[in-house]
Amino acid sequence: MKILLLNGPNLNMLGQREPGLYGSQTLADIEAQTGALAAQHGLELECLQSNHEGVLVDAIQRAGREMAGVILNAGAYTHTSVALRDAVLSCAAPVLEVHLTNPHARESFRQVSLLSGAAKGVIAGFGAESYALAVLWLARNLPR
C-alpha cells in the first residue's frame, strides 16, 4: 500500500529555516525516517514537496485515485488555501494534517486551519515525530 507524504511551501528549507522553531533536521532527513517507519509497517511512502499550490492540489487529487492515505503538511497554505481544502474534501483516501510546531501556540493567524475540518485528523507540535505518528495511525487504520 502506498501513502503520499506531501509537504508545502518553505518546508524544503527545513534545517536552515528557523532551526530554533523547526529543528535542525532537513526535509530529506524527515522523508528518510518516515519512509523507513512506513516500510516497517508494510507501507510504501512517496514523497513530494512543492512551493506551488496547484501542484499540491494535483497531488491530492491523484492520491485520491492511487494512494491508500496522505500525510499533508501544507505549511502556510494551511491557513489560506480553499483550493487545498476542497481537494482534501474530494480525496477518497484519508488525509492527515501534520505540523512540526503547535499552531495554537503561535501567532493568531496560524491558529486557524482551513484544512482541519476536512482532514481525517490533525497531528501537531511534535516536531518530526508528527510525521511518524501519522504513519502509525495509517498503518493501524487503513483497510488491508
Mean pLDDT to the nearest integer, 113-141? 96
Model pLDDT for residues 13-37, shown as the tens digit of each residue = 999 887 777 778 999 999 999 999 9
pLDDT at 79 over 80: yes
Which amino acid does the sequence have at 69? G
72 assigned to a ligand binding site: no
One of 3.40.50.9100, 3.40.190.10, 3.20.10.10, 3.40.50.2300 is the CATH number of 2-141, namely 3.40.50.9100
Q: What CA–CA distance (Å, rounded) separates 91 from 131?
A: 19
Domain boundary assignment for the chain = 2-141
Indicate which residues carry an active-site annotation: 22, 99
79 assigned to a ligand binding site: yes
The x, y and z cell numbers of residue 137, run together, are 495511525
Going from the C-alpha of 93 to that of each of 16, 56, 71, 74, 119, the distances in angstroms are: 32, 15, 10, 17, 10
Q: State what percent of residues in the chain have pLDDT above 90.
A: 83
Query: What pTM was computed for the model?
Result: 0.94
29 assigned to a ligand binding site: no
pLDDT at 109 over 90: no
Contact of 40 with 46, CB cutoff 8 Å:
no
pLDDT at 88 over 80: yes
